[in-house]
Amino acid sequence: MFWELIATVFAGIGGAGIALLLRKITKQTAPKWLVPAFAGVAMLGFQIQGEYDWYNHQTSLLPKGIVVVKTVQEEAPWRPWSYVFPQTLRFIAADVENSAQNKIDPNLVLVDLYFFERRHTAKRVPQIVDCVQGARTDFTQSFSPSSSQSASTWYPLASDDLLLKAVCRNQA
């Protein structure tokens, strides 16, 4: 975030420089307010571009075997352009490559989910997906397949859920 702040300041300096060049070309007849206006527009434009480019940049950095299973697009009143072009500021990715099938109950698959959010560090949450029931639950050390229904809270997944499709594609 520090480097983003530095880049934003330099974008503002660049915008102000363009306005100063315009004033010089027009022999100082262009209004003085163009300098701060160009600086502000350049900084705002840089931030907007960064917000829209963040998702594509993050997903391009994901290693092979990690699949995006959910994106969250957001709109906000302080970003009125987001009502026309919603921004993806959060997404969930599943480490399908390193998922593990349970040896006792092959319908259960342990998978790591990674929660990404703009300007936050990624969080890893281990999950168990039941491919037959179409549900998921948090993985805890006390989890056992025989007591899974009573010990854990299972959250149903839709049949077309990307997590279910990604993790259970090799299941019978």
- Summary mean pLDDT of the chain: 89
| Domains held by the chain: number | 2
Task: Say if residue 76 is in the same domain as residue 96.
Answer: yes
Task: Say if residue 9 is in the same domain as residue 24.
Answer: yes
What's the pLDDT score for residue 146? Answer: 56
Provide the whole-model pTM. 0.79
Percent of the chain with pLDDT over 90: 64
Residues forming a β-bridge with 128? 110, 137
Residues forming a β-bridge with 90? 72, 117
Q: Which domain holds residue 151?
A: 64-172
Which one of 61, 84, 109 terminates a domain? 61
Percent of the chain with pLDDT over 70: 92
Contact predicate 59/68, CB 8 Å: yes
Task: Say if residue 151 is in the same domain as residue 99.
Answer: yes
